[in-house]
Structure 1
């Protein structure tokens, strides 16, 4: 028995696709209806054509290994370089900047933290141990992962009324052992962009590395800006920004796993590289923590970016903005409901001072919606892509019903339905 279930025996083999595919479909029969917009995270879709192009490109390079890009698989190497060039262009990177294609945002953040640590250690007289990172209270848990692995202290700065980090409170936490400060574009809990311009000034003044976590917004916010949205600057146009993480598999609408991390100059990127040379096989050097990486993810990202281009992403950004505005209008029209922040993107977090949001969440789950929540303050959280566009009417109707239902005794949501994705 494993975890309360019977352990599966190793298969005898010989199963054919018809049987295998049916069994897999049976396993997935109770999945949340994510295609119908009932999952508040995990899947990001633009349209069926984009998804199909990504799938075809992925399977075209299903066998190749991106670890060998440029050595064995020259096409994958070229596509990877071009994807990174696209990101550097989009994020206003200066000449000499360099990017890395990674399997996900957590690894992109990890590489930036490692590079910042090595940069701090290289400074004359800088402490090598007992180092800390200073970041908003809303910074993603991936920084906690990096801190655990690298034995770093985390100092979290409080927020202002609009749920953005308080720059002066963050400044007060910096000392000689601070190797990194962080801002989000946008933060996961509230979908707001931190005042990166103020953090940039602090970084230049203090000499501390500034990383912008744009895992959510990096590949779409520039198109919001092109469409005229009055968003805060967050990229390399601000001179204090040393690195930026940005996920392709979120609002770049590319197949998983695909993320990127960009560095202001190649020397910074070199500090993120892993090199081992003590074993008999010689020097082993990788730009990522992962060795083998799926070449299909590289090819699919290249294909999707070339398919959508500036025009396609601007259209997607316009639709996403309109969809978010519609959700906000519908939810605020419900008596007693309010938003904890005015979002800059499609991440929304709403709650109530009159209704028990845990009971509301339980009622929504009874209606087959997967619910994500925040705990400070207690709220229901949606990280919406265009899958949620057609689901709005049903969501709002069920939310109204759930609020009415929540006035009676309701069980609280099961563990695992709250917190970060």
Structure 2
């Protein structure tokens, strides 16, 4: 039982021991066997350096940079580093945010607020764009126009051109897309947006810090950054392939005029005038200091070496997929992602079998004509474990083939077929969780759950997962909370 507010204070040593015990239930953040959520460079001493840097600035408040000029200096240094890496010039400006989602929300806000005369501003994205764009559209009341991608999984320039209208305030694309790891044709898309007088954002949150280094290593990747005419903004997460602790991202604009609508300012109350470049007001300087320490410690040459290790690990994993009957590469492994599909085996059972062998992957549901896939985010740490993956993958495929598809009781399938989002209630979710074996908080075998979600229409899947997450995020009635592991894989994605 975990109690946050005991009657009497608890000794620090006991608290730290309790926190360590809680962490023991989590997936491993280091070791090169978790292919989602975390980014591990496998560099000795980096974690401790980041912790110490975080502690120095943990209580610094980013609300007022004139009160804490140290934080202003650090933020400007991070923005400058990102601008240089992504080919900005002397006019490039930017902001440090809490993560990729906030960066994308702000890119959409800046575009929306640059056209205040529009009653219904619109955002055009490919169907492979990150879900954070949909979140931004929802929060900001911007209409979302989704363009189907081509057979190559990349944004379609011709279809994008047709979708842009008089009310379009922003066109966006990915470098690379998260799901498949492929880079959209940024130069063609940016030229179309510029021709129509529309802002164009490159979502490089996922790979923006590794793509420049992969290109320097000889990877045949298209131009994607601020060197491309027509690109007006770009985002890159430092807590991904810059290997900084979470959560730090950078949003860059080509010039100051493009950034100004991003700000929020309000003086219509008797307190201080609120001026914020990002969504939050008060924010800790800890993550920013940790990010700066990480970048300075690794350095440009270090990032080039980490990118080389990542490239080699991707090649090793991709070859393992190619050499294993029953699975195939679904997308070309051209960046830092290996995405595979199953042929003749149940993909979700395969994911469970890999997890049983210590490889934690990210199953992705079917979408349109795209089949369900398994996503592997590959980091530099995987270079040390990649050669172990092939035999375990072959074993996992054989085990999945032997077990057959996940067992979903016919009554459950029939009930699910009759469900609509409006019928999803807390009571129904609790019953489903119990029936699928999730009542005790064991999330190690998820094939049946993922199979059910895979056949559910997107709106129903959203309702089911929202209900399940709400079920998890409840304190006990007596104010005490039992230890519970976070739901892995697709349960909260």
Query: Under a length normalisation based on structure 1, what TM-score does the superposition of the two structures give?
Result: 0.92
Task: Confirm whether residue 319 of structure 1 aligns to residue 309 of structure 2.
Answer: yes
Could you tell me how far apart the structure 2 residues matched to 1:282 and 1:59 are?
28
Task: Confirm whether residue 387 of structure 1 aligns to residue 381 of structure 2.
Answer: yes
Out of 234, 243, 248, which is 1:244 matched to?
234
Q: Which residue of 1 aligns with 2:299?
A: 309
User: How far apart are 1:9 and its partner, in Å?
Assistant: 6.9
Could you tell me how far apart the structure 1 residues matched to 2:301 and 2:352 are?
41
Could you tell me how far apart the structure 2 residues matched to 1:371 and 1:254 are?
22
Q: Which moved more, 1:369-378 or 1:279-288?
A: 369-378
Q: Which residue of 1 aligns with 2:345?
A: 355
Task: Confirm whether residue 74 of structure 1 aligns to residue 66 of structure 2.
Answer: no
Q: Which moved more, 1:32-41 or 1:253-262?
A: 32-41
**Contact (CA 8 Å) 1:32, 1:368: kept in 2 or not?**
no
User: How far apart are 1:318 and its partner, in Å?
Assistant: 1.0
SS in 1 for 2:179: coil
Q: Which residue of 2 aligns with 1:56?
A: 52
Could you tell me how far apart the structure 1 residues matched to 2:100 and 2:242 are?
13
Could you tell me how far apart the structure 2 residues matched to 1:326 and 1:74 are?
46
Could you tell me how far apart the structure 1 residues matched to 2:91 and 2:14 are?
53
User: How far apart are 1:353 and its partner, in Å?
Assistant: 2.7
Could you tell me how far apart the structure 2 residues matched to 1:420 and 1:28 are?
19
Q: Which residue of 2 aligns with 1:290?
A: 280
SS in 2 for 1:292: coil
Task: Confirm whether residue 221 of structure 1 aligns to residue 211 of structure 2.
Answer: yes
Which whole-Å deviations, capped at 9, do the CAs of 1:77-122 have from their partners, x for residues lacking one? Answer: 112111111111111113322100111111111110000111233x
**Contact (CA 8 Å) 1:32, 1:38: kept in 2 or not?**
no
**Contact (CA 8 Å) 1:44, 1:249: kept in 2 or not?**
yes
SS in 1 for 2:297: helix
Could you tell me how far apart the structure 2 residues matched to 1:221 and 1:258 are?
18
Could you tell me how far apart the structure 2 residues matched to 1:410 and 1:399 are?
17
Could you tell me how far apart the structure 2 residues matched to 1:75 and 1:33 are?
34
Which whole-Å deviations, capped at 9, do the CAs of 1:193-248 have from their partners, x for residues lacking one? Answer: 10000011101111111000000122221122222222110111111001101100
Q: Which moved more, 1:31-40 or 1:207-216?
A: 31-40
Could you tell me how far apart the structure 1 residues matched to 2:8 and 2:140 are?
43
Which whole-Å deviations, capped at 9, do the CAs of 1:146-165 have from their partners, x for residues lacking one? Answer: 11111122121122222111
Alpha carbon RMSD of aligned pairs, Å? 1.9
**Bigger relative contact order, structure 1 or 2, given CA contacts below 8 A and separation 6+?**
1
Could you tell me how far apart the structure 2 residues matched to 1:371 and 1:405 are?
17
Task: Count residues with an aligned counterpart.
Answer: 410
Could you tell me how far apart the structure 2 residues matched to 1:141 and 1:420 are?
13
Alignment of 1:3-402 (within 5 A): 8=3, 10-46=5-41, 47-69=43-65, 71-121=66-116, 128-375=118-365, 376=367, 377-402=371-396
SS in 1 for 2:348: helix
Could you tell me how far apart the structure 2 residues matched to 1:87 and 1:235 are?
11
Q: Aligned pair in 2 of structure 1 residues 400, 267: CA closer, same or farther (>3 Å)? A: same
**Contact (CA 8 Å) 2:105, 2:136: kept in 1 or not?**
yes
Could you tell me how far apart the structure 1 residues matched to 2:5 and 2:73 are?
40
SS in 1 for 2:125: strand
**Contact (CA 8 Å) 1:200, 1:241: kept in 2 or not?**
yes
User: How far apart are 1:252 and its partner, in Å?
Assistant: 0.8
Query: Under a length normalisation based on structure 2, what TM-score does the superposition of the two structures give?
Result: 0.79
Could you tell me how far apart the structure 2 residues matched to 1:94 and 1:78 are?
19
Gaps of 5+ in 2: 407-446, 451-487
Q: Which residue of 2 aligns with 1:3?
A: none
Gaps of 5+ in 1: 1-5, 122-126
Could you tell me how far apart the structure 2 residues matched to 1:30 and 1:296 are?
26
User: How far apart are 1:58 and its partner, in Å?
Assistant: 1.4
User: How far apart are 1:329 and its partner, in Å?
Assistant: 0.8
Could you tell me how far apart the structure 1 residues matched to 2:169 and 2:48 are?
43
Could you tell me how far apart the structure 2 residues matched to 1:401 and 1:214 are?
35
SS in 2 for 1:145: helix
Could you tell me how far apart the structure 1 residues matched to 2:84 and 2:138 are?
33
